[in-house]
Structure 1
Amino acid sequence: MTDDFTVVKSKRSRKLKSRKITGVCSDPDVQSHEGIDIAYTMRKITESRNELTSSDFYSSVKDLIEKVFQSDGEKDGTKELPHQAVCYGLGNFSECIIARYQLCLLMAMREHLKIDARECLLYDPKFRNAEIEILGELGFKVIDKNEEGKRPCSLDTRTLFYMPHCGKSLCNNLLWANWRKEHLSNVVIIGNSFTSITDNTPSRLLTKTGGYIQRIYPYCTEVPLPTTFRFTDIFNDTAIHSFPANQLENVPEGFWESPPEPCYEEEDVEFIANKNLL
């Protein structure tokens, strides 16, 4: 695993005192509404996005994302930006401050990377009808079924998978669905740090719940997101993961052959399963 980038905090960032969103995830102002007020939620999203995109944190994130794609491109002979973005496990952004800011980062990245709105897809089984309506108003497309993260990316273009604070089994499913050198080299994942997962999960348990993370980790490039945003628990322990083709050339013989579909014991599943697939 390599890490070629270092985040340098600006003087302004050091002056801002970061804090956690303590207690419940929900915004108390949103909680006071009966049901979901769509106009109010849209206004809160706009306010949060303006705050996020004007922060030193976002400036650093933009630079890091650009460096990841440029670096991978120089190694692979292409500098193609992602054609599609797929987001899993965002949560109920209409009431959860953390989910709302995470949505705002996705919106900002979509614009910065010039990803067509029709190619920016989201899914969370917890989405409410009003939230699906809001996402449509924002130009997103909601996936109509629970894929359990098992979506193969295109062989022709790169795909950005945004999985903020999702459990390792969901990411493990995504890796399984793309367990070919040609697929993985087109995948970029923004989600929980693979380093933290491998360091903090006993090897025997990781083999059961994140075996593909465990296997690909030595050939992955991981770039941590900065910790300079004023709420420290929104993007904490989050990193950009890519799989440059030249690094995947170093895998041992038989590495890609006949990958078994992940199967979890009920207590190990860290996502809401699709009952129709059982």
Structure 2
Amino acid sequence: MTAARDRPRYGGRAGRMAAGGWHMAGGERRRRRRRGRAGGEAAEGGPRPRVPSLTPHRGCRAPLTLRSPRRDDLLSSGFWAASAGATGRPPPGLTPLSVPAGAVRAPLGGGAEPPALCVCYGLGRFSGCPAARHQLAFLLLLLEELGVPPDRCSLFDPVFSAQEAAALGELGLRLLPDNEEGKHGIEGSATLFYMVHCGKALYNNLLWRNWSEGALAKMVIVGNSFKGMEERWVQAINFSPNALKVLKGTEEVALPAHPRYLDTFNDTSVHWFPLHKLKELAPEVWDFVEEPTYQDCDDLEIIRKDDRADSCSPVATEF
């Protein structure tokens, strides 16, 4: 994990959101520098999908183009090689972090099998933000590493422009049709969730929707450090997040710090839930948990289904 740990950002202020969903907000420095996110590169190996050129979205200052060098940057910098141990198998001759080989593969399919599905929330306006394109590039490399076909990966962010949606389609990725508010049930399928810098309510909703030993044991979450969020969450008034209840049943490994990506992947960890650890939790942990409503809660960094705003928000264009 990177040295500095800012507050998670995703969702935030309705005036900065697109129709029907949420978008990243949150941490002070991140709020200034990044409203769009992750990279935009084709997966490694084999012929690369054709990526269309994107025309500028009205009101957005940055040129809307996807550049394959973002993927190459991750590979040449050593960041991906050092991260591979946290996300799958370690590269030859390298023992990255403290993750045993295959530790994350196991919950995604029982041994060496890849996850069946991937869901990505909060990618943002990747067409105009270098940090965002790096995050998309990392996602594509991660799908390749775990053997997940692009068409088994679904994304949602209401700020996607029509051009960005088309570009994701060219990469073979799918778009979720509706704002789930993070309440995505895995329905028995091993699933990887990619949620870099999303807000706490989004994580809370995801855990609530899959609140059982069997479901959590089939999930891996790449996103804000649960350990890092613990201090912030316990200070929140009227908010008792599900992540705190299951923290003792969670394994977490931070992505490595790299000077080139301090703002792009800071506070990012890989989380999974070993079944034997979940079974050690007190039985009352699994008692009926009501659907979160967040009444009288501030700064939850989530936008509801009926929130409305311009798709190219002021924050999204401040690069």
TM-score normalised over the length of structure 2 = 0.70
For 2:172, give the aligned amino acid: G
Change (3 A) 1:198 1:50: same
* Structure 1 stretches of at least 4 aligned residues deviating more than 4 Å after TM superposition: 20-23, 72-77
Change (3 A) 1:183 1:200: same
1:81 to 99, 114, 121: 114
1:232 CA drift (Å): 1.0
Change (3 A) 1:150 1:88: same
Match of 1:169, SS state, is helix
1:267 to 288, 298, 310: 298
Change (3 A) 1:231 1:255: closer
For 2:302, give the aligned amino acid: F
Match for residue 48 of structure 2? none
- On the 8 A contact 1:76/1:246 being kept in 2, the answer is no
> Comparing 50-59 with 181-190, which one deviates more in the overlay?
50-59
Mapped partners of 2:32, 2:293: distance in 1: 34
1:69 CA drift (Å): 7.5
Mapped partners of 1:274, 1:231: distance in 2: 32
- Cα RMSD for the two superposed structures: 3.0
**Greater fraction helix:** 1
For 1:217, give the aligned amino acid: L
Mapped partners of 2:106, 2:192: distance in 1: 18
- Aligned residues, how many? 248
Match for residue 61 of structure 1? 83
1:223 CA drift (Å): 0.3
2:190 to 158, 161, 168: 158
For 1:211, give the aligned amino acid: P
Match for residue 252 of structure 1? 282
Which structure 1 residue ranges, 5 or more long, are not aligned? 1-5, 8-19, 28-32
Match for residue 14 of structure 1? none
- Per-residue deviation, residues 40-66 of structure 1 (Å, max 9, x unmatched): 613x2x111111122211001112212
1:161 CA drift (Å): 0.2
Match for residue 13 of structure 1? none
Which structure 2 residue ranges, 5 or more long, are not aligned? 3-28, 37-54, 89-98, 308-319
Mapped partners of 2:134, 2:107: distance in 1: 33
Match of 2:203, SS state, is helix
- Per-residue deviation, residues 180-227 of structure 1 (Å, max 9, x unmatched): 1100000100000011110234x251761x510111111100100001
- On the 8 A contact 1:118/1:140 being kept in 2, the answer is yes
Residue 129 (structure 1) aligned with residue 162 (structure 2)? yes
Greater relative contact order (CA < 8 Å, ≥ 6 in sequence): 2
Match for residue 136 of structure 2? 103
Match for residue 112 of structure 1? 145
Mapped partners of 2:69, 2:135: distance in 1: 13
1:218 to 248, 269, 290: 248
For 2:147, give the aligned amino acid: K
Mapped partners of 2:207, 2:277: distance in 1: 16
Change (3 A) 1:92 1:73: closer
Match for residue 183 of structure 1? 215
1:41 to 65, 68, 73: 65
Mapped partners of 1:223, 1:216: distance in 2: 16
- On the 8 A contact 1:207/1:214 being kept in 2, the answer is no
Match of 2:220, SS state, is strand
Residue 25 (structure 1) aligned with residue 34 (structure 2)? yes
2:124 to 85, 91, 98: 91
1:165-176 to 2 correspondences below 5 Å: 165-176=197-208
- On the 8 A contact 1:187/1:243 being kept in 2, the answer is yes
1:21 CA drift (Å): 9.1
For 2:285, give the aligned amino acid: F
1:145 CA drift (Å): 0.5
Mapped partners of 1:226, 1:206: distance in 2: 32
For 2:231, give the aligned amino acid: D
Mapped partners of 1:24, 1:111: distance in 2: 29
Q: What is the percent sequence identity of the aligned residues?
A: 35
Mapped partners of 1:217, 1:188: distance in 2: 14
